[in-house]
Amino acid sequence: MRPTRAWRVLAPLTAAVALVAGCSSGTESDGSDGTEPIVIGQTAGLTGFMSVFDIPVQQGMQLAVDDINAQGGVLGRPLKMITTNNETDTSKIQTAAQDVLDQGADFVVTSCDFDIGGPAARVANDADTIAMGCAGGPLYGVDGIGPLTYNLYPGSPTEGAMLAEYAKEKGYTRPFVITDQTLEYTQVVGDFFEKRWADLGGTTVGEETYQNGDESAAAQIAAVQRANPDVILVASYPPGGATLLRQLRAAGLTQPLLGAQAFDGTYWTEAVPGLSDFTIPAAGALTGDDPVAAKNDFFTRLEAATGQPAASANYPLQGYSMVQAIARAVERAGSTDTAAVQAQLDRFTDEDLLIGPTTFTADCHIPSGRPLLLKTYTDGVPAVVGERAVQSLMGQAPC
């Protein structure tokens, strides 16, 4: 379902507004007369499997735009958001990205996945335009695309390594890893779990692959039953990942389950009735138990704006924070000039965005050191059980 476009500014503005960019007046140093809007163009999968991730990003972005405009905009100019639908179709991603540029986008926000968002970021960068996303894949950034691409998510290496550290601290000794091969994101979660587990001195009792959308997980279940692990990592995402979880439980496998952040939310849990003992990392909580009060307030306001509860925590927070990041960098640069804004983004050091402290450097555009919550599902309902930052990425320096 497409989100409502009947957005409105909410008043009074609450604690989250304090996190948006400051305001100023006057003209830009790039020659703008201060009346034209600053355009943030989103190219998103509003249909297809990415819609469950990209629509919440769009909702968070729009709320940030409304908040910032209510405070006077940026450099005295209003923000304007435009969105094109790439339909989660790899043949349409580049065209959709070019479309937002043709409509005057000063900045481009892409789908939150390297495979789907990466091609759009390249189109933006080729046009000397900053691209921003929230992809799990570690190539969404300087190394895989270029210095004009920024990632607001800590990344799948952080997820995988953190889950391995959590499993070790819980006293598990016999993990089994099932890795969804459909996306680079899930492949890296599984890979970094195994690497970090080995780095911690452990060995897995088995590994299997999976394809999101497979109707049967009989082969994977048989392998797990033979291995008899004490914990199972499901590096996947809904809807196929939910099918896999349901079949694991239906087969009588009662071991604790670990999952990727892409499972965040409850929109998929009806497919796995009574799911318990399932733990994932997440950027925030929807159930009012986030340790950051501004996030709890944000989701209350988002529900008021959209008319429905958020489906997941991570993606609306990402959307809001991407607009925050762009607005702050433009404000400090005094301009929308690409090089000037890039220089300000590269100076972010524990920048207090709604999603959490965010650091970028000229060489690192993935805030892999940002802490994540850990949430455990009991009877289908997630609750925060802790917060942690990754301890080691095996030689990769987090920023």
How is the chain split into domains, by residue range? 15-153+288-367, 156-282+373-388
Look up residue 63 and give its amino acid.
L
Instruction: Answer whether 15-153+288-367 and 156-282+373-388 agree in fold.
Output: yes
The answer, yes or no, to whether residue 162 has pLDDT greater than 70, is yes
For the entire predicted model, the pTM comes to 0.84
Under the banding of pLDDT at 50, 70 and 90, the label for residue 305 is very high
Q: 156-282+373-388: what CATH class?
A: alpha beta
CATH of 15-153+288-367, one of 2.40.50.140, 3.40.50.300, 3.40.50.1820, 3.40.50.2300: 3.40.50.2300
Of all residues in the chain, what percent carry a pLDDT higher than 70?
91
Instruction: Find the Cα–Cα–Cα–Cα dihedral 144, 145, 147, 152, rounded to 10°.
Output: -80
Q: What does the pLDDT look like over 55-83, one tens digit per residue?
A: 999 999 999 999 999 999 999 999 999 99
Select the more confidently predicted residue: 138 or 150.
150
All residues at 6 or more sequence positions from 12 whose CB lies less than 8 Å from its CB, including other chains: none
Q: How far apart are CA 92 and CA 323, in angstroms?
A: 24
In 3D space, the residue among 355, 397, 303 whose CA is nearest the CA of residue 132 turns out to be 355
The answer, yes or no, to whether residue 140 has pLDDT greater than 50, is yes
* Stretch 289-303: mean pLDDT: 95
Under the banding of pLDDT at 50, 70 and 90, the label for residue 53 is confident
Check residue 138 and give its pLDDT.
Answer: 85
* Stretch 12-17: mean pLDDT: 33
